[in-house]
Amino acid sequence: MTFAKAQEYFLDHCQFEKNLSAKTLEFYAIDLRQFQSFLKNYKSDSQIGKIDKYVLKDYLKYIAHFKPKTVKRKLATLKAFFNFLEFEDIIMVNPFRKLRVKIKEPRRLPNLMSTHEVQKIFKAAYTAKEATTSDGDYLTKLRDIAVLELLFATGIRVSELCDLKDKNINLQNGVITINGKGSKERLIQVCNPGVLRILCEYRRYFEEQIEQSGYFFINRLDRRLSDQSIRRLIRGYTQLAAIDKNITPHTFRHTFATLLLEEDVDIKYIQHFLGHSSIATTQIYTHVNSAKQQQILSTKHPRNGFEFGSCSDSQ
């Protein structure tokens, strides 16, 4: 069987049998196309059964210039692909069985905002809305604020926010149904009156367009708002707030989780809010900033209760 035919079978399996998300299917297709391109340049036989561990080792060198996270994703795609082919008896042996690869990712703390920076961005957005001189500009700013408020209120992923349907949001009860990774559904309550008020105002002004498209957040063409549009609007308000920091939709998510932890919210609740299948993923947020460290150590450390060695003893 040719690689192209095997790829077609695999993607059909992922879409119709495993019901994977459109985003996952897109990445699978990109990664497999790249591997197919490599095979052509490598002058390897296009027959899928001819691919062995030595071909994979050369491919690993070929993609070594990518970030470790990207390399891991591309290899994971190929592993899933060859696992499927072996299970379906299209190939006799999965070439990954004879290959041991360990890729280390540098552990980096998430990019965060302070509460002061969050306040500056919201102030810039609300001030810009009140300063508008046209109805169209006012509606754009209203939608932007609704996006920012929901990002910070729920810690939602940008892809989840873009995919929110009108039917997923109950503004009367303040309950949002989020379809997360792996088609896992979770409910999050929006409790802040200010957030609910801006969402209701946005929904009221855009009611006709929202009902027509089915999506809650829409662009000027009355279509689903894209990830790129949200990144651009955040970048714009970051600059307007005079914050010299790379702030993305994921920064709002990281900040949401970290600030809740600093308020002593149980990590299991945060795991649910973020839609993590494993608490190990959530534990990246268990770092604390220097101000919080100082507060904890100055008030909670048992040494503070020792009577000897105090300032009064030395006088």
Confidence at residue 100, expressed as pLDDT on a 0 to 100 scale:
86
Q: What is the pLDDT of residues 199-252, one digit of tens each?
A: 999 999 999 999 999 999 999 899 999 999 999 999 999 999 999 999 999 999
Confidence at residue 289, expressed as pLDDT on a 0 to 100 scale:
60
Percent of the chain predicted with pLDDT > 90: 66
- Return the higher-pLDDT residue of 82 and 47: 82
> In the predicted model, what is the mean pLDDT of residues 61-70?
93
Rg of the Cα atoms in the chain: 25
> In the predicted model, what is the mean pLDDT of residues 123-137?
95
End-to-end CA distance of the chain: 88
The values of phi and psi at residue 225, to 5°, are -70, 135
Q: Is the pLDDT of residue 62 over 70?
A: yes
Q: Say if CB 273 and CB 188 are below 8 A apart.
A: yes
Confidence at residue 199, expressed as pLDDT on a 0 to 100 scale:
97
- Return the higher-pLDDT residue of 147 and 302: 147
Where exactly are the structural domains of the chain?
3-98, 115-294
Q: Which of 127, 195, 193, 194 is nearest to 155 (CA)?
A: 195
Q: Is the pLDDT of residue 310 over 70?
A: no
CATH code reported for the domain at 115-294: 1.10.443.10
Task: Give the pair of three-digit tokens for residue 246.
Answer: 């790379």
68-77, 85-94, 298-307: least confident range: 298-307
Q: What is the pLDDT of residues 245-278, one digit of tens each?
A: 999 999 999 999 988 988 888 889 999 999 888 8
> In the predicted model, what is the mean pLDDT of residues 45-62?
87
Sheet holding 175-179, edge to edge: 169-170, 175-179, 185-189
Q: Is the pLDDT of residue 44 over 80?
A: no
| Cα dist from 310 to 294, 303, 304, 305, whole Å | 19, 11, 9, 10
Catalytic residue numbers, as ranges:
157, 181, 250, 253, 276, 285
Confidence at residue 283, expressed as pLDDT on a 0 to 100 scale:
80
Q: Is the pLDDT of residue 151 over 80?
A: yes
Confidence at residue 79, expressed as pLDDT on a 0 to 100 scale:
96
Confidence at residue 5, expressed as pLDDT on a 0 to 100 scale:
93
Q: What is the pLDDT of residues 168-196, one digit of tens each?
A: 999 999 999 998 877 788 999 999 999 99
CATH 1.10.150.130 is right for the domain spanning 3-98: yes
pLDDT band with cut points at 50, 70 and 90 for residue 290: low
d(CA 135, CA 138): 5
Does the pTM surpass 0.85? The reply is no
> In the predicted model, what is the mean pLDDT of residues 66-84?
95
pLDDT band with cut points at 50, 70 and 90 for residue 105: confident
